[in-house]
Structure 1
Amino acid sequence: MEEIRIEANGKLGPIDASRIPRFAGAATYAKLPRIDQVDAADIKIVGVPFDAGVSYRPGARFGSTHIRESSRLLRPYNPALDISPFERCQVADAGDMAVNPFNINEAIESIQQNALELTADGSTLVTLGGDHTIALPLLRAASERAGEPVAMLHFDAHLDTWDTYFGAEYTHGTPFRRAVEEGILDTEAISHVGTRGPLYGKKDLEDDKRFGFGIVTSSDVYYQGVREIVEKLRDRIGARPLYISVDIDVLDPAHAPGTGTPEAGGITSRELLEIIRGLRGMNIIGADIVEVSPAYDHAEMTGIAASHVAYDLVSLIADKRAADAEAKA
């Protein structure tokens, strides 16, 4: 079947849904071109189908495919941000990284190397997971590219700063403790957003504070509101290179049931999207959306939410990259 695509400003965009039905054809993210169909890409969407680091319900290895399928209905103009991201920058789907599903250490090394290779041309990665273990090698690569420790906003129900689980140092609950230990995070500019639920003990919070993390709980979002939370986050991060990591379980299970470790009392999809949109103009150097587990996803709710989170992240990155390029011209 011939692919009839939208083209604007010299950018090859999504398949034209007015001429080819959205439910037809290959499911790249947002029906965008594959990486081999463009000469170069400013933003690359890449999947990491890996979930050997989960501690409860598995299935996030199928998350990247599920998010792509759920993205078929996305359209090229983002009215919330008044931007057509696929016209501002060339965005392409780079497919999936092939990583060892049986060896976590090898998988982490492969993800880091793949991320470095994909960004060697100066492009920005938006990664579809996969479980949260993958954030560590992605952060390693982002920090290496930035040449300095990076700021981070971590949207999650959980802290993910535990030390070990069954003696394992690398799991989906430990990536940000390892990242602090390795010196790849700027500990004056890191924060969790949306945390909630029971912990193993108060020491979890004490350790987290010692690492430098600020905490915005889901209750804080409810009582303080999105605008106040965004203002605090922007003040904390400033102009630093910023990595954004989104565990879809930051959303309440009513909005995202398809995840491995659901917790009651989460934020809404609307709140998450509005907080992300409030980061417009910040120096976002990479992002991931993880822990989508389609086997538990009733009516595709989680995949749809994740696809929209990725869309707004792509929009922010495209807007900033294009604005910076125009300012230099």
Structure 2
Amino acid sequence: MPHYPTWPETLAGKHWRNVHFPRIREDTPTFLGVPYAIREEDLQGADIVIIGAPFAAGWGKKYSGVDKAEWLAATTRVRQQSIRYRGGYVQDFDLDIFEHLKVVDYGDIDIPLEASYEGTVERILEAQASVERKVKQVLAAGAIPVVIGQNSPVASYAVGRPVAEHIGGPVGMVSLDTHWDCWPYDWATMNEHIAGSTNWKDKLFRDCPNYAIRNLVEIGERGMLEDPNVVRHYLRNGACFMPMWKIRTELGIDGVVRNLDQAYQGTDGVYAHFDMDVLGGAGPSDGDLLGELAEPIGMTDYEAIRIAHEVGKRGCAGLSFLCIPPGSAVMYRVIVYVLTYFMAGVALGKIARGAEGRQG
């Protein structure tokens, strides 16, 4: 595992303009230095709300061969890396996000540390419920919840279900992942109540009938890990599946972007889920950071950032992150870019809809 810089080392970086910004903790700035929302009323008027959900699944000290402390640090480290940029100006689009969107950081959900080391059903369900409560508050305020986490169900099912309940009508899904997460049971607990790493998507489709498989756009899987019966079930029912092989040999990123439309056809909203083990060994760092989750033919950082941007432009009711590659400063910056370019897409979509309204 590479050396991740300490907070003093990060503060001493040459890109820093000053050290005055809102902080959640001494070593944790808010994302991009946006206002810190500490109460539900602080969400009013927000367009996007950032939420941290530190949770690593299972028993013991490691998840997929990597120390859980490294996984759990993601909510802090993504924010630490974001503060080097401070403002919302994205030069690629000559766009200042914060001129068009109100973004606040709602801090980290208070998930007991024991929940990440003692994988009891009760602790997992308590952690899930804590996330669902905050996501529901954000949705009630009319904002987009963005949950930065590391494992299911807290950074997947606990976001997707409140989104479906809030929208009420048909909901589409855009999912980036190395794995389908569609087994009919959770391997870790073997308990029907848990929407875990191996089954959260299957459970979400069962519990929320307004998600339809025909509006699922699944991107990034590859290799030999899946049960053919699971994959073929989703293909038979109309999912748009874009494995990395097809992206590399046929579609390219522009083909992927065109196919995003399937999540929006006949739906009232879309939930986007970015499982960042999709990067595998691609991007700016070593794939072995992911331990047992690393697979060849990984998605590049640009492809993940571009997809997030296009989803933002089209509209998104909720966004979640998990399996963020641990320990590398540059990989945490990739998440900063994915989220920032997503917000730029949301802003550009808002601008475009405003222009259409004025013309109408």
What band does the TM-score fall into relative to the shorter chain? 0.7 to 0.9
Deviation at 1:319, TM superposition (A): 3.1
Retained in 2: the 8 A contact 1:43–1:318? no
Gaps of 5+ in 1: 1-16
Retained in 2: the 8 A contact 1:45–1:92? yes
- Paired residues for 1:1-329 under 5 Å: 20-21=18-19, 26-36=28-38, 40-52=45-57, 56-57=64-65, 58=68, 59-74=70-85, 75-100=87-112, 101=115, 102=118, 103-134=123-154, 135-164=156-185, 165-166=187-188, 167-168=190-191, 169-182=194-207, 183-210=209-236, 212-223=238-249, 224-238=251-265, 240=267, 241-255=269-283, 257=287, 258-259=289-290, 261-279=293-311, 281-294=313-326, 297-298=327-328, 300-321=329-350, 323-324=352-353
Larger deviation: 31-40 or 301-310? 31-40
Q: 1:280 to 1:45 in 2, by over 3 A?
A: closer
Please report the TM-score for the alignment, with normalisation by the length of structure 1: 0.83
Paired residue secondary structure (1:35): coil
Deviation at 1:55, TM superposition (A): 6.0
Letter of the structure 1 residue corresponding to residue 36 of structure 2: R
Letter of the structure 2 residue corresponding to residue 179 of structure 1: L
Retained in 1: the 8 A contact 2:16–2:84? no
Deviation at 1:132, TM superposition (A): 3.5
Paired residue secondary structure (2:324): coil
Paired residue secondary structure (2:280): coil
**CA RMSD after TM alignment:** 2.8
> Quick one: distance in 1 between partners of 2:99 and 2:126?
38
Report how many aligned residue pairs link the two structures.
310
Retained in 2: the 8 A contact 1:218–1:266? yes
Higher relative CO (Cα under 8 Å, sequence separation at least 6) belongs to 1
Larger deviation: 159-168 or 54-63? 54-63
Retained in 2: the 8 A contact 1:51–1:131? yes
> Quick one: distance in 1 between partners of 2:324 and 2:310?
24
Deviation at 1:325, TM superposition (A): 5.9
Retained in 1: the 8 A contact 2:22–2:36? no
Which residue number corresponds to residue 14 of structure 1? none
Q: Deviations over 1:134-191 (max 9, x none)?
A: 2112111111111123101101111111122151442112111011111242322102
Which residue number corresponds to residue 13 of structure 1? none
Retained in 2: the 8 A contact 1:242–1:284? yes
Higher helix share: 2
> Quick one: distance in 1 between partners of 2:150 and 2:244?
23
Q: Deviations over 1:45-78 (max 9, x none)?
A: 1111112259624443322112111212334222
Q: 1:309 to 1:206 in 2, by over 3 A?
A: same
Deviation at 1:23, TM superposition (A): 10
Q: 1:203 to 1:107 in 2, by over 3 A?
A: same
Please report the TM-score for the alignment, with normalisation by the length of structure 2: 0.77
Equivalent pairs: percent with the same residue?
22
